[in-house]
């Protein structure tokens, strides 16, 4: 059910045909040389008419260039009759989502029926390695050809389009995925997959893998056999009768460990359990890749999610597609198995409120589009909600939840917010990390939770590698703390803000507030009107309470998926304490260099950090990248005393761990466009040295020192916190893992 985005179909059978060679499978991210031959139809192409060969916005295939025959992505075109052709590439040269445009204009001459234009995409005849293909799987990758036969700039879409299949490469990384908390005796599953270098689940895994558990697991086989063709494997019906912490180690036929699962805590009992969700992503019917059905099945079967929601841009969702989405959510939703919410991304212009995400409890609800820009059927125009205030008014009686989002547009929650339905803000997605959004909310006195999702466009819902495009971050996940895996249970978690967010890792996080006396826990935000309440002595993340206590105890329990670098304990906009799981005496030769931030809030927020570093009086012994997901962007040791890198950030951070030859000698010089600095190695300690903090949003570099080995993946903390009067005390935390992942708890809101 593809959205053809208003391309003309005028006499499409008379404007020609196109074919490509070779056809078949092409490995994601590889170089290919593809010849596309367009044969003119009855009308030919008139003088100054043209062809467009367009790709989806989401594609991160190489940008065509026409000047360097030896370089990547060299493209040529020639007409069989000698007509002179002009080639041009525009990033946004066509109707969304087909906006990546190679334009081939007949500059002098014309084409008659049967004349051809031969386009070599990745012309290797002059030494080019070819065209770099997109880095993610797509079984029907189209070279969509549009024809302006009459030189009227009205492009007709060919009725049959040439396609190839973009497939995964061989596995370079293996993952074993468990739930994070289950009760003793409760059944659960183990997921296992191999991924290629671009994060695609690989169908090329082959072999026998041994499974070694840290505690007895009923139903766990000693080994599994994996054969080519399968993208992922699920071992169900597992259970553990004792309490404790479970890891499953996976070993290859040689006995080498290929991966270790995330931790699973087995508890005697728990009222709430964590369920992992990606509540935001799109398919090819809007601006994403692969069909909505394929997106759902990826989330369930390859990302091993508990819950999801398809969130297409509303102005691309036709009524038939909205009805199809509702059929799909009803078909795939299964209590206790896999939960999917019907919903959409309300994609209003920034000046009218910016992006919001709407999730419904049940099917059959009215979609309230921000506009009909790419929906031809205007019969339901009166149902639109053009501004976020209009949206909130339309949703006030709906059984739904909303969260604020930042993508191409950002949610302006200072301008518009409705606590009745907008319960959370999204601080991380493929687009980057946006802690300023929760800060905006806290500044305004809103009581919201924190979520993170992918907003994936590459068909990898729940395991959203950003690839090589402008997306700068790995997609996030939201952990919903609910009494059961059902729509009702998860909706209750979202409405009560009982959830935490990560940048894609699966960790165990519990935050509690303990009171000296009785506190009043509200069923709903009392700012919205009269609500029920009860007396308690403790509260969890997301709760809203009134207390007479001057001080409370903030209790934190973390079991991370990698060693913990730091924990920031926050009260609203204030960082109360930064806790590190190591002492200054443990620091050694390892320093961490971080670049972070963005240019501004809207599109074009990418901060470019290309540059390098030099040492005087010391050497770089080893360097390891952090959060450098785009394999085209690298950090390299070009000499014993010199590093060079190419990098960008879109709100989050990247960087490198650097092991020095000597712990304290010499000077470090850093040169990038945003920051230039010199630092004495001896001055680098446990606390951050902040470099170039002016301009942009947190656009800066940081330097600090770490132990040469840090194994602390667990922390339990208890802090006494004095409460502020006359305002909310929003107690929450942000955890940074050494592997670059971040985890945020939703705040607990206390007022005196």
The 10s digit of each residue's pLDDT in 112-167 is 999 999 999 999 999 999 999 999 999 999 999 999 999 999 999 999 999 999 99
Beta strands 742-745 and 31-32, pairing class: unpaired
Return mean pLDDT, the chain.
96
Look up residue 263 and give its DSSP letter.
P
**What is the average per-residue pLDDT within 256-284?**
97
| Whole-number pLDDT of residue 2 | 47
CATH code linked to domain 505-581+711-752: 2.60.40.10
| Whole-number pLDDT of residue 5 | 60
CA–CA separation, 716 and 711 (whole Å): 15
CA–CA separation, 240 and 215 (whole Å): 8
Other CB atoms closer than 10 Å to residue 323's CB: what's the count? 14
> Residue 178: pLDDT above 70?
yes
**What is the average per-residue pLDDT within 188-197?**
98
> Residue 525: pLDDT above 70?
yes
- pTM here is 0.95
**Domain 12-167 classification at class level:** mainly beta
| Whole-number pLDDT of residue 1 | 46
Name the least confident of 9-13, 402-406, 512-516: 9-13
Pick the CATH number of 173-268 from 2.60.40.1930, 3.40.50.300, 3.20.20.70, 1.10.3720.10: 2.60.40.1930
12-167 and 505-581+711-752 have identical folds: yes
Tokens of 672: 């990038």
> Which sequence spans correspond to the domains of the chain?
12-167, 173-268, 274-504, 505-581+711-752, 584-707
Q: What angle do CA 347, 350, 353 make, to 5 degrees?
A: 75
CATH code linked to domain 274-504: 3.20.20.140
Task: Dump pLDDT digits (tens) for 638-681.
Answer: 999 999 999 989 888 999 999 999 999 999 999 999 999 999 99
b/e sequence 300-316, b meaning 16+ C-beta within 10 Å:
bbbbbbbbbbbbbbbbb
């Amino acid at each position: 059910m593809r959205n053809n985005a208003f391309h003309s179909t005028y006499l499409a059978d008379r404007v020609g045909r196109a074919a490509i060679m070779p056809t078949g499978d092409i490995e994601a991210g590889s170089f290919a040389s593809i010849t596309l031959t367009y044969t003119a139809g009855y009308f030919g192409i008139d003088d100054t008419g043209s062809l467009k060969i367009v790709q989806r916005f989401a594609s991160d295939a190489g940008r065509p260039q026409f000047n360097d025959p030896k370089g990547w992505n060299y493209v040529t075109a020639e007409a069989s009759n000698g007509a002179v052709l002009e080639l041009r590439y525009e990033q946004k040269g066509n109707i969304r989502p087909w906006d990546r445009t190679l334009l081939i204009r007949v500059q002098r001459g014309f084409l008659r029926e049967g004349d051809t234009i031969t386009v070599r995409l990745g012309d290797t005849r002059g030494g080019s390695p070819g065209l770099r293909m997109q880095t993610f799987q797509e079984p029907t990758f189209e070279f969509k050809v549009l024809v302006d036969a009459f030189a009227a700039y009205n492009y007709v879409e060919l009725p049959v389009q040439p396609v190839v299949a973009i497939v995964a490469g061989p596995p370079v990384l293996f993952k074993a995925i468990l739930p994070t908390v289950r009760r003793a005796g409760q059944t659960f599953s183990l997921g296992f997959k191999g991924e290629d270098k671009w994060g695609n689940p690989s169908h090329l895994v082959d072999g026998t893998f041994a499974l070694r558990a840290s505690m007895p697991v009923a139903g766990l086989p000693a080994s599994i056999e994996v054969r080519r063709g399968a993208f992922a494997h699920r071992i169900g019906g597992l259970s553990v009768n004792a309490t404790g912490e479970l890891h499953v180690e996976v070993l290859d036929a040689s006995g080498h460990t290929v991966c270790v699962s995330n931790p699973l805590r087995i508890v005697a009992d728990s009222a709430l359990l964590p369920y992992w969700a990606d509540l935001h992503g799109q398919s090819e019917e809007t601006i994403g890749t692969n069909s909505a059905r394929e997106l759902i099945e990826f989330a369930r079967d390859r990302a091993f999610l508990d819950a999801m929601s398809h969130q297409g841009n509303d102005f691309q969702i036709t009524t038939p597609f909205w009805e199809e989405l509702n059929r799909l959510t009803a078909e795939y939703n299964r209590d206790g198995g896999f939960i999917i919410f019907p919903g959409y991304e309300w994609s209003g212009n920034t000046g009218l409120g910016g992006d919001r995400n709407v999730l419904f409890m049940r099917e059959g609800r009215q979609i309230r589009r921000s506009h009909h820009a790419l929906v031809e059927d205007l019969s339901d125009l009166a149902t639109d909600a053009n501004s976020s205030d209009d949206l909130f008014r339309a949703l006030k009686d709906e059984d739904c939840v909303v969260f604020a989002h930042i993508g191409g547009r950002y949610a302006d929650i200072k301008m518009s917010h409705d606590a009745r339905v907008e319960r959370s803000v999204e601080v991380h997605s493929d687009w980057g990390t946006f802690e300023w959004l929760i800060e905006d909310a806290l500044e305004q006195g809103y009581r919201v939770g924190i979520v993170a999702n992918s907003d994936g466009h590459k068909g990898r819902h729940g395991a959203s590698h950003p690839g090589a495009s402008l997306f700068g971050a790995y997609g996030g996940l939201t952990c919903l703390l609910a009494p059961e895996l059902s729509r009702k249970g998860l909706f209750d978690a979202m409405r009560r803000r009982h959830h935490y967010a990560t940048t894609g890792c699966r960790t165990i996080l519990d935050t509690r507030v303990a009171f000296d006396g009785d506190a009043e826990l509200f069923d709903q935000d009392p700012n919205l009107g009269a609500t029920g309440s009860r007396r308690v002595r403790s509260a969890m993340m997301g709760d809203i309470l009134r207390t007479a206590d001057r001080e409370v105890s903030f209790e934190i329990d973390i079991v991370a998926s990698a060693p913990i670098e730091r924990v920031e304990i926050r009260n609203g906009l204030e960082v109360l304490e930064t806790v590190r799981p190591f002492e200054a005496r443990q620091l050694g030769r390892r320093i961490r260099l971080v670049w972070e931030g963005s240019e501004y809030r809207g599109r074009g927020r990418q901060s470019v950090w290309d540059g390098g570093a030099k040492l005087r009086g010391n050497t770089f012994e080893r360097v390891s990248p952090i959060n450098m997901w785009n394999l085209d962007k690298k950090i390299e040791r070009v000499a014993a005393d010199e590093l060079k890198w190419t990098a960008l950030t879109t709100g989050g951070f990247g960087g490198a761990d650097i092991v020095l030859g000597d712990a304290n000698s010499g000077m470090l010089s850093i040169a990038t466009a945003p920051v230039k600095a010199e630092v004495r190695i001896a001055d680098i300690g446990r606390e951050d040295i902040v470099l170039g903090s002016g301009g942009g949003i947190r656009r800066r570099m940081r330097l600090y020192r770490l132990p040469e080995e840090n194994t602390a993946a667990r922390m339990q903390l208890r802090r006494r916190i004095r409460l502020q009067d006359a305002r909310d005390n929003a107690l929450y935390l942000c955890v940074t893992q050494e592997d670059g992942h971040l985890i945020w708890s939703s705040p607990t809101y206390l007022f005196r």
